[in-house]
A = this chain, B = another copy of it.
């Protein structure tokens, strides 16, 4: 598969790149970023997928989360995909709202019109993009972790629980833990998947854990700012804690006083998350 380099810039002795390619899955051109630490010149590196939240592209986390320093130290490749398909042919929310359509793919494969022809972010991130990345970068896909923020935290938790053989470690910042029971989630699931709530439960971290049980040997790391305006209505970390408790899933949920939903919160604690993943991937 062909890859076009948008930019490659030195950062912390590694290379922070941005690339684009024609996707057969989302049926449009997709952009993503890859940080390759210098250590990957010697040995294929483990990979951390970073999934971003509503309204973001790959650019937000790449420029503001500050992951390059610790990724360089730990020898991790960090990949930031976009949050939705893009382009003139891609449908958007008819009212231009930020929580559906462009920037709001919710990391699932849409089955409903007009979304289904492009909004296939689940297959894109779990299948097409890893294959492309493996062709072009020094990555060891036997050692993958996944993390994300807000909608991307939902993506990380659900993609991990549906594919524990792919992702050996998982973490999230301020994830949408129970989208079935939150306005953002309900709007997206209803539009992308239709009205069958049974199908929704395949894209809800709490429901997946309750229906399919825990993954042994994996500790979920979640940081949640307690000054986050979305915590009560949209994110619901208490529900994740409850679901993990019920099924015996190991969860480290850290409630961080005063922090909000922003990239400053992510930047503050991302070192902890990358160390969490590096340790899990080192044991493979």
Contact = CB atoms under 8 A, between A and B. Distances in A.
Interface of A: 9-13, 16, 63-64, 66, 68-69, 225, 227, 258-260, 262-265, 267-268
B69 A9 contact: no
Given A10-B258, A63-B63, A66-B267, 6 more contacts: A10-B227, A10-B259, A11-B264, A12-B264, A63-B263, A69-B268
Interface secondary structure of A, over-half rule: mixed
A268 B225 CA distance: 27
Contacts of A9: 260, 262, 264-265
Contacts of A265: 9-11
The count of identical subunits is 2
Contact of A12 (B10, B64, B260, B268): B268
Contacts of A16: 264
B69 A264 contact: no
Contacts of A68: 264, 267-268
B258 A11 contact: no
A66 B225 CA distance: 19
A29 to B, nearest CB: 24
Contacts of A64: 63-64
9 contacts: A10-B258, A10-B260, A10-B268, A11-B265, A11-B268, A12-B264, A63-B63, A66-B66, A68-B264
